[in-house]
Chains A and B, each alone.
Chain A
């Protein structure tokens, strides 16, 4: 049985300047497990994608999308596993399967290229996306570090 040895919880306004804040905080926390430079770079990029999705899409129906919140929970396990859970209470995704297709995007005007989920999936060991239209979305990423 793996055991959680440390936990971080964050709540940030869904503003684009917090994309950098979120990935920096998650990575400095994960760095306590002594990952390789490459592992940390992958985690940083995956977190950046997940948070950007919240900033760009989740609260677009709100007048002031920055009034929405990003909830981040990170757990470190004694098995050198990291789980990062990123949740919003925004508009949700009607068709998750479609949204996960590489290069599918609804954000063309914002120069989104539809690679967010592809990066999250490629840069971690597992990606789970749970979403309910009108309720919000949770993305769970797991990454196992080399011993």
Chain B
């Protein structure tokens, strides 16, 4: 599991995740993503899952946790690349019904 930082324009910070996202890999990502959110205090946090090859419910926990961190600095979260099995588990979780969270199939990468 790796994170690549996408375009950061001051108001947005983008994290492009890749690889397998499970309980083991999520543990390592939390602190890194939270550190960056608290440092750059953006208005929008973008989490891109288009290169995630496997995700279980640990990924849902990761999104919920980062939503909390984002909220603490007044930011909203945009989850992108929610297709295939990633989209399937997100739909099962009902995340899209939460305020302050946008879910899209599009990718942040171009």
The chain A residues found within 8 Å of chain B, CB to CB, are: 16-17, 19-20, 23, 38, 41-42, 44-45, 48-49, 52, 55-56, 110-113, 115-116, 118-119, 122
Number of residues in B with C-beta < 8 Å to the partner?
A: 22
Chain B: which residue is nearest A27 at the CB level? B54
C-alpha spacing A28/B92, complex, angstroms: 26
Residues of B within 8 A of A45 (CB): 54-56, 85, 89
Q: Apart from A52-B23, A110-B23, A111-B58, what 18 extra A-B contacts exist at CB < 8 Å?
A: A16-B22, A16-B24, A19-B22, A19-B23, A20-B20, A41-B54, A41-B85, A45-B55, A45-B56, A56-B23, A110-B61, A111-B30, A111-B61, A111-B64, A111-B65, A112-B61, A118-B92, A122-B92
Asked if B24 and A115 make an inter-chain contact with CB atoms under 8 angstroms apart, the answer reads no
Chain B: which residue is nearest A16 at the CB level? B24
Chain B: which residue is nearest A18 at the CB level? B24
The chain B residues found within 8 Å of chain A, CB to CB, are: 20, 22-24, 26-27, 30, 54-58, 60-62, 64-65, 84-85, 89, 92-93
Asked if B57 and A113 make an inter-chain contact with CB atoms under 8 angstroms apart, the answer reads yes
Residues of A within 8 A of B84 (CB): 41
Shortest Cβ-Cβ A-B pairs, 7 listed: A16-B24, A115-B57, A111-B61, A48-B56, A113-B61, A52-B23, A41-B85
Asked if B62 and A111 make an inter-chain contact with CB atoms under 8 angstroms apart, the answer reads yes
Which of B27, B58, B89 has the largest number of chain A CB atoms within 10 A? Answer: B58
Asked if B89 and A20 make an inter-chain contact with CB atoms under 8 angstroms apart, the answer reads no
Chain A: which residue is nearest B28 at the CB level? A16
Residues of B within 8 A of A48 (CB): 22, 54, 56
